[in-house]
Amino acid sequence: MSKNSRLKADSGPPPNLGTVLDFMRILWAVDHGLNKISKRMGSSLGITGPQRLVIRIVGRFPGINAARLAHIMQLHPSTITCIVKGIERRGLITRTTDERDGRRLNLVLTEEGRRMAHDTPGTIEAAVQKVLSDAPFLEVESARLLLKRLANVLAEEPEAADGYGGIDDETEGERASRLAL
């Protein structure tokens, strides 16, 4: 098969894969896009997509503790710890002792962190904002509810989330390290 023949075979709309596989294909495309932009953000802004989301959330809720942040982001606390450590090394966030409970640490943005917490072109949330601003409310709400249900099923079903036969290809620590890059 010549190179031109392969290009023709690969062009055009994708075939109908059926509801489940087509939905999964779109989810993988979103996942790929998130990772690609996150990597680019790491190079251009010095923080990844997950790190920026932490900065944005801490900026909205100064003094939030890591456990609450993990709950909001629906991530394991060890993943949040790795993300926060990366941001802390960059001098964008500090941990302060809770006045009511000395065992608890709260997260606060530094001055540089506050400067990074505003809307910025070329970020994941800028792309999401662009799509959301053009979509009708009911379409956005339907998509949000559907993705929330999928996230809940994946979180509750270890076999569904871990791959074939319950084998986990990536440990929580490996995922945390990848997200903290």
What CA–CA distance (Å, rounded) separates 44 from 65? 28
Lowest mean pLDDT among 21-30, 38-47, 101-110: 101-110
Residue 174 has pLDDT above 90, yes or no: no
C-alpha separations of 65 from 75, 81, 84, 86 in Å: 14, 11, 11, 16
Per-residue pLDDT of 29-66, as tens digits, reads 999 999 999 999 999 999 999 999 999 999 999 999 99
Confidence category of residue 165, pLDDT binned at 50, 70, 90: very low
Better pLDDT: 64 or 100: 64
CB 111 within 8 A of CB 67: no
Lateral strand order in the sheet of 105-109: 64-65, 105-109, 93-97
Q: How many residues does the chain have?
A: 181
Confidence category of residue 9, pLDDT binned at 50, 70, 90: low
The class that CATH gives domain 30-180 is: mainly alpha
C-alpha separations of 139 from 22, 128, 134 in Å: 18, 14, 10
**What's the pLDDT at 112?**
95
What CA–CA distance (Å, rounded) separates 166 from 157? 10
**What's the pLDDT at 70?**
94
What CA–CA distance (Å, rounded) separates 71 from 77? 8
Q: Which long-range contacts (CB under 8 A, 24 or more apart) does 159-166 make?
A: none
Chain mean pLDDT for the chain: 85
**What's the pLDDT at 5?**
54
Residue 168 has pLDDT above 50, yes or no: no
**What's the pLDDT at 11?**
77
Of 112, 60, 50, whose CA–CA distance to 80 is shortest?
50
